[in-house]
Structure 1
């Protein structure tokens, strides 16, 4: 008698779900590490540790305790490693470790890496990963070396070098974590700080795809459409936001008004560069005028580039939305830019991403207002900053209770890993078997 046993099918989790579980596991491990006695100078709550770990892994930068005084060097190292893991991408880091150990990278790992890097193809992923490592290490080490010129003379070799390395890693990963309670405000007019820190988070915010294109091609004519849109959009947003900030805050005594005129120019440039992605500041964000705060919320919502260390709906998403609006008024069925054409599917994707993001932010603001009394604009500012993983704060985060912290933590987590899940859903097509006659809906 011959018995035939059916082979059990091993269930496979979708790559985005695996990445979400990995990020969540990293946050849990980070929370446990930060709760260790040797990680802090005094006792902190589990809520403090969990919030800090979530903010670090999601490279946000919102804090409920002062990083420089509450955490020991060990605790600061843990925060820096969480920032590096979250910014570089956990799957990217894992594949790099496997490659260095000479271990094979299987097809499943490539699928996870493809989702983590937001790529449409699994080919050449290892080459892209190695290029990412080179760019990250080069930028962070050069940045730390330049920052050491400022920190070492003030704090000594040991402390100064550590401060330079920590802020170099935090800046490139657009995390916004600083070892000083006033962020970088004491160096508001320092040229090295005002050039090095923005250069790091601008390069980190452009995205690894753009970095790879620049690294290999080095010619504007041969750049991909994505690279051209990112570079053009980034320059336009930097120029516009710097001029707008200077005009609106020039006489505000709480921000630029009390500074020498040359320091006002440095501060305008720094805030314009940091707003979309990084979260560092050289002026008091809580003293911004309402129009400037609203402009900052818009810039944070736009965010950085795809496959970057920054958050937001992404610069290219914002550009495609604008181009789609222009195309509609010109009665064009397709979007034309830089000699290329974008179809309806691209517009549908950016609409889905923008709509989902707005709904999430509005829901979070509504829930926070239900349980936390405070200024509406400040709460909205904090929520948008959490979603865009920017980390700029008007001082609300430290006043939140555990329920409010939990809401902000969820928003930070979704802001970091949510686009991965949404991208997977948009890429999964199920053709409909049923067709319906066309209908008309009156709009506007």
Structure 2
């Protein structure tokens, strides 16, 4: 019985779930303390835990504006939670182990395998080292570029702080920003809607954080290996297609909307459409007023948020590879093909079953939370669905509902962010009993489908 409480007895998914939960509670506790708020007052526990959950799960939904409510200490706590949550606490633990020259045990390698969504533990420590190096270099580059640009708008010290803070937030697909003021909170990047430097740097950080460290490593090693893995090909293709389609759809739907793209020149329209296509890939910032979008555009963004980023990345959602597997399965069924082929390689049926399971569990979660919030919150259905999907996809885009949530609503959205970051399947493995191999199979039966 005592072995149940030993970490060594726990499965990797259970360790991940518990680890993230402890980090959230610790971060929430720190944010409740008076020194974390700008006014020097204690923050309500529900709002502090909500913020800690959003930061650790790299979402970006907030009940209190980050720039105007939290003190420098509070903002540093939030960005530390974002960094740990984005890279994963096991990745950060590995960093300390490497620095201290400690051996990575088999158990730790299995947890890292689960955290990075890898098929085996082979080369997992080497991958983690690359993740840390790539992340540091990308965040540093983004910080320098943003600091240089913002040095023209604010004092150099503040520009450096803003550059470093937002580079970490954007690369980890968190969506938190510091541009809110007392008079105009929750403004995000709307002041830079047609600024090419800010837009392209932020979009690059979001995309690099969203494609996944496996793909990043594969692309960098391409010159040596002379080929990309099937996973990388699928991720890069789906990312490109979704970004292109998203840009075109948003541009067409909002072209004549005077409250969004209508008042911008052609360059501004294209830039804003691109940014709003990138942001739903689990990042969260926005350069135009999302509440002014047409409902068709808002619903399209909901679809993008549900799909999300790619496996092994800092983002959430069902993932691009899951969506691709389902699309190819549908095409194979329509064409009467027995095998599901992607880039001249056959996909194992187990992958399709997993993709279908993840999609159905995710859809069930979004539907259930949306139905409950429709009862507890007095707002329109599209607004509630948008907020719920944003929480599940760890996106952070909001139509303004989050600050007005009831206590029940805050708890539900917090749980949704938590499940979205870890993945419904990981959570099911963590909470469920250990799987046992069946010793027999039932006879095959047939039912009519369709």
TM range (shorter): over 0.9
* Residues 201 and 278, structure 1, Cα contact 8 Å, conserved in 2: yes
Counterpart for residue 163 of structure 1 = 162
- Give the drift of 1:417: 1.1
Which range moves more in the overlay, 255-264 or 193-202?
255-264
Q: Distance in 2 between matches of 1:424 and 1:47?
A: 28
Counterpart for residue 346 of structure 2 = 341
Q: Distance in 1 between matches of 2:427 and 2:152?
A: 47
* Residues 274 and 280, structure 1, Cα contact 8 Å, conserved in 2: yes
2:440 matched to 1:434? yes
Counterpart for residue 101 of structure 2 = 102
Which range moves more in the overlay, 417-426 or 100-109?
417-426
How many matched pairs? 438
Q: Distance in 2 between matches of 1:83 and 1:430?
A: 37
Q: Distance in 2 between matches of 1:422 and 1:352?
A: 13
- Give the drift of 1:260: 2.6
In structure 2, the residue corresponding to 1:25 is in which secondary structure?
helix
- Give the drift of 1:423: 8.3
Counterpart for residue 81 of structure 2 = 82
* Cα distance, 1:430–1:305 mapped onto 2, change above 3 Å: same
Q: Please list, as runs of the form range in 1=range in 2, the aligned pairs for 1:229-268 lying within 5 A after superposition.
A: 229-268=234-273
In structure 1, the residue corresponding to 2:398 is in which secondary structure?
coil
Q: Distance in 1 between matches of 2:326 and 2:224?
A: 27
- Give the drift of 1:261: 2.7
Q: Distance in 1 between matches of 2:244 and 2:224?
A: 23
* Residues 14 and 429, structure 2, Cα contact 8 Å, conserved in 1: no
Counterpart for residue 4 of structure 1 = none
| TM-score where L is the length of structure 1 | 0.95
- Give the drift of 1:429: 5.9
Counterpart for residue 146 of structure 1 = 145
Structure 2: 5+ residue stretches without partners: 181-186
In structure 2, the residue corresponding to 1:341 is in which secondary structure?
strand
Identify which of 404, 409, 421 aligns with 1:404: 409
- Give the drift of 1:435: 2.7
2:42 matched to 1:59? no
Structure 1: 5+ residue stretches without partners: 1-6
In structure 2, the residue corresponding to 1:205 is in which secondary structure?
helix
In structure 2, the residue corresponding to 1:336 is in which secondary structure?
strand
* Residues 27 and 81, structure 2, Cα contact 8 Å, conserved in 1: yes
2:111 matched to 1:112? yes
Q: Distance in 1 between matches of 2:397 and 2:224?
A: 35
* Residues 382 and 392, structure 1, Cα contact 8 Å, conserved in 2: yes
Q: Distance in 2 between matches of 1:195 and 1:316?
A: 25
Q: Distance in 1 between matches of 2:321 and 2:107?
A: 29
- Give the drift of 1:93: 0.7
Q: Distance in 1 between matches of 2:348 and 2:332?
A: 11
In structure 1, the residue corresponding to 2:448 is in which secondary structure?
coil
Identify which of 4, 10, 14 aligns with 1:13: 10
* Cα distance, 1:139–1:420 mapped onto 2, change above 3 Å: farther
* Residues 3 and 9, structure 2, Cα contact 8 Å, conserved in 1: no
In structure 1, the residue corresponding to 2:326 is in which secondary structure?
helix
* Residues 92 and 113, structure 1, Cα contact 8 Å, conserved in 2: yes
Q: Distance in 2 between matches of 1:420 and 1:109?
A: 20
| TM-score where L is the length of structure 2 | 0.94
Counterpart for residue 295 of structure 2 = 290
In structure 1, the residue corresponding to 2:423 is in which secondary structure?
helix
Q: Distance in 2 between matches of 1:84 and 1:201?
A: 14
* Cα distance, 1:226–1:168 mapped onto 2, change above 3 Å: same
In structure 1, the residue corresponding to 2:188 is in which secondary structure?
coil
* Cα distance, 1:292–1:156 mapped onto 2, change above 3 Å: same
Which range moves more in the overlay, 305-314 or 32-41?
32-41
- Give the drift of 1:436: 2.4
Counterpart for residue 392 of structure 1 = 397
* Cα distance, 1:116–1:441 mapped onto 2, change above 3 Å: same
CA RMSD of aligned residues (A): 1.9
- Give the drift of 1:218: 3.6
Cα deviations across residues 41-74 of structure 1 (Å, max 9, x unaligned)? 1232111111110000000000111101111111
Counterpart for residue 353 of structure 1 = 358
Counterpart for residue 334 of structure 2 = 329
Q: Distance in 2 between matches of 1:297 and 1:76?
A: 28
Q: Distance in 2 between matches of 1:131 and 1:432?
A: 39
- Give the drift of 1:333: 1.8
Q: Distance in 2 between matches of 1:179 and 1:240?
A: 30
2:449 matched to 1:443? yes
Q: Distance in 2 between matches of 1:129 and 1:424?
A: 23
Which range moves more in the overlay, 371-380 or 145-154?
145-154
Q: Distance in 1 between matches of 2:441 and 2:167?
A: 55
- Give the drift of 1:219: 7.5
Q: Distance in 1 between matches of 2:363 and 2:26?
A: 31
